[in-house]
Chains A and B, each alone.
Chain A
Amino acid sequence: EAEVAQSPRYKITEKSQAVAFWCDPISGHATLYWYRQILGQGPELLVQFQDESVVDDSQLPKDRFSAERLKGVDSTLKIQPAELGDSAMYLCASSLDGYGYTFGSGTRLTVV
C-alpha cells in the first residue's frame, strides 16, 4: 500500500537553531498539506500545495517558517529560528483529488 513518507520521525533541537522536515507524498498526488498538531489538540493546517504552487499559507508563521515543493513532488518545511512553542507533531498529507487525505507518520519536534 502506498504511503506518505516523512523524515525524521523525531527531532530535538535547541531554540534559535534551524530545523527542517521532509515529506514525500504518494506518487501522483498533486495536493500536499503540512499540518501542525500540538499535544492534546487537533491538527491545524500550515500550508497547502497544488503541484509546486502554494494554495493556502494563511496560517503559516512566515517570519520563521518556510515551505517549498520545488518540483511538485516532495516538500520541505523549515523553521528558523526554532522557538520553544514550536514543539509539536508536524504531519504531512497528500491527496489525489482533494478529497480524502493520506497522512504520513509525522515528525515529532521538541525544542529545548
Chain B
Amino acid sequence: AQTVTQSQPEMSVQEAETVTLSCTYDTSENNYYLFWYKQPPSRQMILVIRQEAYKQQNATENRFSVNFQKAAKSFSLKISDSQLGDTAMYFCAPQGAQKLVFGQGTRLTINP
C-alpha cells in the first residue's frame, strides 16, 4: 500500500516569494508516477506537475518545479515568483498500479 506524508499543514508567504512544499511517500512499486495537484477554494482539482519515477531529471512547468529524490522517497514542490492565484490546497499524490493516493494536503496562502 502507498502512504503519503505532507508535513506542513499550512504555509503562508508574500507574493513574489519562493516557497517549497514537502512530501514524502512510501511505495513498494518500482515504476510509478508522482503528481502535485492544486485545489483552490472553487474545489476543482487541478494538475500542477507530474514526474515519472524512472526519470532522474526533475520536472519543471513554468514557475513550478520539483525536487525528486527517489532513494529518499521525497517529492517536494517549489513555486517561484508566487502569485495570489497560487493560493490553494496542494496535494502530493503518488500513483502506482493505476491508483492515485493523496496526502492530507498543505494549505498555501499567498499574501499581497
Q: Which residues of A approach B to under 8 Å, CB–CB?
A: 31, 33, 40-45, 48, 55-56, 89, 91, 93, 95, 98-103, 105-106, 108
Contact = CB atoms under 8 A, between A and B. Distances in A.
Interface string B18-59: 000000000000000101000000111111001000000000
Interface in B87-112: 91, 93, 95, 98-105
A42 B44 contact: no
Contacts of B93: 42
Contacts of A31: 98
A103 B45 contact: yes
Interface residues of B, number: 21
Interface of B: 4, 33, 35, 42-47, 50, 91, 93, 95, 98-105
Contacts of A33: 100
Nearest to B46: A103
The 4 closest A-B pairs by CB, nearest first: A42-B102, A98-B98, A103-B45, A43-B102
A89 B45 CA distance: 11
B43 A106 contact: yes
Nearest to B37: A103
Nearest to B98: A98
Contact of A42 (B35, B91, B99): B91
A54 B4 CA distance: 25
